[in-house]
Structures are given as structure tokens and as C-alpha cells.
Amino acid sequence: MAVSRRLLREQMRDEILDRLLKGVYPVGSRINEVRLAEEIGVSRTPLREALASLAQEGILDARPNRGYWVSALSEQEVRETYPIIAQLEVLALRLSDIDELAGAAPGLIALAEDMAASEDVRDVQRADDAWHANLLASCPNGRLREMIADTKRIVHRYEHAYLGDKDTVRESVEQHKRIATALGDKDLATATAELESNWKTSMHSLIERITGSPDGPPT
């Protein structure tokens, strides 16, 4: 029963995210729980659990006794969080066994190609998530992997905006391939430099989308 409830909550979360991507709920709008439960055909209990989960991730703004609103994208949050994720992932690579990283390289290249071939932004994001998960899979520090996952939840919604643009996806795919190629060559210095550059590129592109003006080239 607990498993079924958890799966239902996750399905509700995915459905709400899908509606956010389609613009059904613009930034700043209120989520009508009664109407949404009727449209989806579920009780309000799993729906509220899904909404609470999205609020914890920062995607929604929970207001006591008033409900949930769609949170605005924050330039400051991007500037503060993306460099942290970059450094945490770089640390995870440095703690990993280089032979295991080299062995994972072909699979990472294949996942990057899956990302390039995906047409739907949700499929692109799933491929990107899988790529980073496989990149860090050999890191022996479980607590570090948890920290990375927790921090990524904060900005996961931003990736929908970033990965919805074909040009930036194409650039990101090439960066992912360069990281994998360097790992295949056991060139950790190049791989970590490219990984940090990948996160900086994402950060600058997102800030440009949020502010409407160029943020300057990645450094």
C-alpha cells in the first residue's frame, strides 16, 4: 500500500511538472487544488503530497492556509547554486577511481547521444539526469552524492528552461561528450575542467533567459 501511494504521489508530481512546462500554470499563478484533483481524477491527499514535494524543491511556493503558487525563477538562486553543484561534482570525480571512470566513458557518450536525439524537453532532461548519475556512480562517498542530489533538486526546474532550447542542448551535448572522451583517456584534469565549464555555460544561459540580456561568456 505504501509503495502504491508513493508511486501515485510521484505520478502526480510528474503531471504537475508537465503542466508547468506547457504553461498551464504561469509563474506567479495559484494552483487550484480542487480543480486539479478533478481534472486528474485523484483524491486530494496524494495531490497535496505531490504539491508539498514540489514546494520543498522550490518549484512551488507554499503559503500557509492559502495554498500553492508557482515560484518565480531567480537569477540569484542560479548564481549561488550552480557553482556549488559544479564544485561538488568535480570533487566527486576526483574521489572516483579513474579506471572505473574510463570504463564508464562509452556509456556516457551513448547517453549524450540519447540526449541529442530527444525531441521532448522531458526526455532531454531525463537523459541529462541519467548522464550525470552515471558520471558520479563510481564516487565512493555516498554522503557527497546525496548532497549533490539534494542541491540539484533546488534548481531542477531551471533545467526545463535551459534544456528546452535546441542550441543550448546541442552545446551541452558536445560538452558532455568532451568530458566522457577525457575520462576515456584518463585525463581527469581536462574532464573536471570541462565539467565545470558545462555548469557555467548552463548558468550563463539560464541567467540570460531569466533577465532577457546576455550574461557574458562562460569563463
The mean-pLDDT minimum among 130-139, 151-160, 204-213 falls in 151-160
183 is written with which cell numbers?
A: 575520462
Whether pTM > 0.85 for this model: the answer is no
Angle formed by the axes of helices 121-135 and 142-162, to 10°?
160
Mean pLDDT of 1-7: 55
Residue-range domains of the chain with CATH: 2-70 (1.10.10.10), 75-211 (1.20.120.530)
> Residue 210: which pLDDT band, with cuts at 50, 70 and 90?
confident
pLDDT in tens, 80-117: 999 999 999 999 999 999 999 999 999 999 999 998 89
Q: What is the pLDDT of residues 170-198, one digit of tens each?
A: 999 999 999 999 999 999 999 999 999 99
Percent of the chain residues past pLDDT 90, beyond the cut: 45
Length of the chain: 219
Instruction: Give the pLDDT score at 196.
Output: 97
Average of pLDDT values for 126-144?
Answer: 94
Residue 88 C-alpha cell reads as 561538488
pLDDT at 1 over 50: no
Give the C-alpha separation, 208 to 95, whole Å. 33
Q: Give the Å distances, CA to CA, from 68 to 16, 45, 55, 99, 191.
A: 12, 14, 8, 47, 41
Q: Is residue 22 over pLDDT 50?
A: yes
Only one residue has cell 528552461, namely 161
Average pLDDT over residues 2-18: 74
Tell me the per-residue pLDDT of 44-65, one tens digit each, with 9 for 90 and over: 888 998 999 888 877 899 998 8
